[in-house]
Structure 1
Amino acid sequence: MPIITQVNDDMKAAMKAQEAAKLSTIRMLKTALKNKEIDLMRALTDDEALAVIRTQIKQLRDSAESFTAAGRTDLADPVAGEIATLEAYLPSQLSDAALDAKVREALSGAGLTSKADTGRAMGVAMKAVAGLADGARVKKAVESALA
């Protein structure tokens, strides 16, 4: 099922179940998806929709970190719920062992072995995992592979 269809179905379900927090998060996502469609002047593909979802999650994580740093856990807790709602739309993440294996395979295939190659190694590794792992986790795997 296309992601946009799934978002619409989940929005209807949240309305019927009267889940205000989930509904608000889904509406925010739907707005972001619609804005991206308007920018591109065409319907979004699933990969583009996933990119929008990842962007939303990243923004929410930044907000949660800011709230926590300021000691405002009353504001950080609802944001954590929004992140959980959005993460349900993402494909499952690779385990640490699988991520390390994929990164090492990609780096050896590209012939990258020294720490001086970290920038190029990150590009190769991010293409190899293609959205199946968070950038911070990929960075750690690249650093350990080049160590």
Structure 2
Amino acid sequence: MDLFERVSEDIKQAMKAKDKVSLEALRNVKKYFIEAKTAPGANDILTDEAGLKIIQKLVKQGKDSAEIFIGQNRQDLADVELAQVKVMEVYLPKQMSPEELEVAIKAIIAETGASSAKDMGKVMGVASKKLAGLAEGRAISTLVKELLA
């Protein structure tokens, strides 16, 4: 069962369970999946890889929105966003721990031969590809800066 079918099945389960938070989050995910499938050149196909990228983007947007709501003293709205993020994160691969991420980035730095902050672009290019879905881009970037400094 591919990711699109899995989300569709989970929407049915959320309807039966009357789980409004999950239902809203999953319907939003499915909306973006359908938009991606019907985009010009997509030929009505959505790979799991593309689906994961969509979910990662939605999770990041949800977390960013929650931060903004918290900054505006709207914890009620932040809680809604974070609850939906939690539903979507189930579909993402397990995230790396900070220790695992540091080991992986050190290996990439050694592999690319980077030695200073000037080489950050080179390291980030490789790290972004290798660690896609396993760690947030912001965390990767911060750690690369620290290690190259």
CA distance in 1, matches of 2:132, 2:85: 20
Q: How many residues align structurally?
A: 147
Residue identity (%): 35
Q: Deviations over 1:40-81 (max 9, x none)?
A: 232110000001101111221221112111111111111110
Q: 2:86 aligns with which of 68, 84, 87?
A: 84
8 Å Cα contact 2:37/2:45 also seen in 1: yes
Q: Which amino acid in 2 is paired with 1:90?
A: L
Aligned pairs for 1:1-147 (under 5 A) are: 1-39=1-39, 40-147=42-149
SS of residue paired to 1:131: coil
Distance in 1 of aligned mates of 2:21 and 2:88: 12
Q: Which amino acid aligns with 1:29?
A: V
Q: TM-score scaled to structure 2, two decimals? A: 0.92
AA aligned opposite 2:32? A
Shift of 1:16: 0.8
C-alpha contact 1:102 1:128 (8 A) present in aligned 2: no
Shift of 1:35: 0.6
Q: Spell out structure 1 runs of 4+ moving beyond 6 A.
A: none
Q: How far does residue 3 in structure 1 lie from its aligned partner after superposition? A: 1.1
For structure 2, the 5+ residue unaligned runs are none
Match for 1:30: what amino acid?
Answer: K
Q: Which residue identity lines up with residue 136 of structure 1 in the other structure?
A: R
Question: Structure 1 regions of 5+ residues with no counterpart?
Answer: none
